[in-house]
Structure 1
């Protein structure tokens, strides 16, 4: 049972906190802006807020929601509380493709760069699916094959970094640590995220049963082969979108599902939407810190998700 028994109070608190985070993120940065600049089109800060900060905030919210939902699915799929979306190794596929684009000096529109990374990560996911599917999807095979593929991609990425120029290495390292500074609004993400959320909400009861074990779910009438495969595909899609948009950002998919379980319990009809909200808020908080802590220097957001995530995970580990 979660800490909050009254769902309406929890959602009210979540909405108020999210609004506070969004307004704070709009107003702070390399230049702190007055609150009236939010609506005053004549303010010199108006364009900074709505053309620079607002798209970045939307991206942070989308990426955080994708990673936290992917973490919820992969932990349910492999029955491992330490599972993370990057366990699938699909982040390596996106990284390999997008780093090659940086090395070759290709000048691509943000949407094209996103699509290149998206395709690379999906190809990695298809390879993992091929290796792990033998009549049915085997969670233990996913874990082992995903780790091996991740090491393989890491070796390739190390090779690219070792042979790149100094300026290219800096850009790559920022991307590998998670970077939203150059991300632009991508209309594909909210559409795909909404579709997957609605599909998962329809399967919330089946996911509850699957969390208690494949055998129990089968005896309860759940088609576990189909549900496991669907969970895998959605996890791969969500992770692919997040990595292609913002690089590899750790801890969001690992700790957010655990935090939300403490808040709302174990029913997926509550876990799915709340994981998305908390994950979105967590990444927005981390990105706001990345923009402001060493102002005017902007740091990779992955630094702050790790700095917050490590103590939070250790605290959660005592609670769970």
Structure 2
């Protein structure tokens, strides 16, 4: 309940603050008027209505979706491989999306069959997921260690391909700037028509994971425990990997590469509510949404009127957190 109210609060704050500020009460009235027409008296200008409804609210909602997707994916993957340092981007999904997106930005849509940037990025992410899954199999079974190694190895190869595409590009400086902006994460292109697919993917995948919280708890406790409780480890790991990759691939296609969220938020949530995934999953989704809205807000105001890509902000926060986490684990904590 507290996190839900906090999420509503940061959404209103994220919409209100910008190059042209709109008072929070006016923001709330505009949103309410669009959701339930003629329920409040109009005390705002058409310009304020356009700023709130057409520009800022879709961006803030995309931030919520991205934060929830990365956090829930991180939670599932950390349980699947029983590694608290696991992150959705450890498995190469964002690298695959990056290659496809950079190909569009540097070579044009004709290079990948006329697909738009977002569809190309999604396709690259899903193709990478299939390859990592194939490489991770041993004797017909998915091995968690091989899954991590395959993801890391393929991620390096795909990162090299991305660098090659950027270096050989003959596009003018603006094209290179667009590539760097996408690779650093950007929520500025959010529009209402772009939010349907990511919302459906995140809500559906999170709902399916929550229905299997007992299996997640069992897997986190160890293979022997999970098997003794009747969990089909092979099939369940495939489900976790597919759902996580689907969420990450969908949001990466919209936001670009944003790291550390899937690493940080699950750890913070476990400190707050424990390790039972019945509570960890929904709390991770809510806290991830709150965190991403705040990160985007920081990126918009810290060097205003210019914007700092959200991926840079999450790296500046997540890097020290990662170091702290490693020190805690090396000291026998956690």
Q: TM-score scaled to structure 1, two decimals?
A: 0.91
**Residues 13 and 24 in structure 2, CA contact (< 8 A), matched pair in contact too:** no
**Residues 69 and 253 in structure 1, CA contact (< 8 A), matched pair in contact too:** yes
- Measured after TM superposition, the shift of residue 106 of structure 1 is 3.9
- Secondary structure of the residue aligned to 2:76 is helix
Matched residue count: 307
Correspondence for 2:34:
none
Correspondence for 2:38:
none
**Equivalences for 1:93-132 in 2 at 5 Å?**
93-106=96-109, 112-132=116-136
Matched, 1:174 2:151: no
- Measured after TM superposition, the shift of residue 314 of structure 1 is 4.5
What is the alpha-carbon distance in structure 2 between the residues aligned to residue 141 and residue 36 of structure 1?
52
Correspondence for 2:160:
155
What is the alpha-carbon distance in structure 2 between the residues aligned to residue 36 and residue 43 of structure 1?
16
What is the alpha-carbon distance in structure 2 between the residues aligned to residue 162 and residue 51 of structure 1?
36
What is the alpha-carbon distance in structure 2 between the residues aligned to residue 187 and residue 273 of structure 1?
20
1:97-154 deviation per Cα after TM superposition (whole angstroms, max 9, x unaligned): 111111134499xx94322211111011101111112321100101111111000001
Segments of structure 1 that go 5 or more residues without pairing to the other structure are 1-10
Q: TM-score scaled to structure 2, two decimals?
A: 0.87
What is the alpha-carbon distance in structure 1 between the residues aligned to residue 118 and residue 300 of structure 2?
22
**Equivalences for 1:102-251 in 2 at 5 Å?**
102-106=105-109, 112-134=116-138, 135-164=140-169, 165=171, 166-184=173-191, 185-251=194-260
Matched, 1:57 2:63: no
**Residues 37 and 46 in structure 1, CA contact (< 8 A), matched pair in contact too:** no
How has the CA–CA distance of structure 1 residues 41 and 158 changed in structure 2, closer, same or farther, with 3 Å as cutoff?
Answer: same
1:255-283 deviation per Cα after TM superposition (whole angstroms, max 9, x unaligned): 10000000110111101111111111111
Correspondence for 1:8:
none
Matched, 1:300 2:305: no
Correspondence for 2:14:
25
Correspondence for 2:23:
34
- Measured after TM superposition, the shift of residue 197 of structure 1 is 1.6
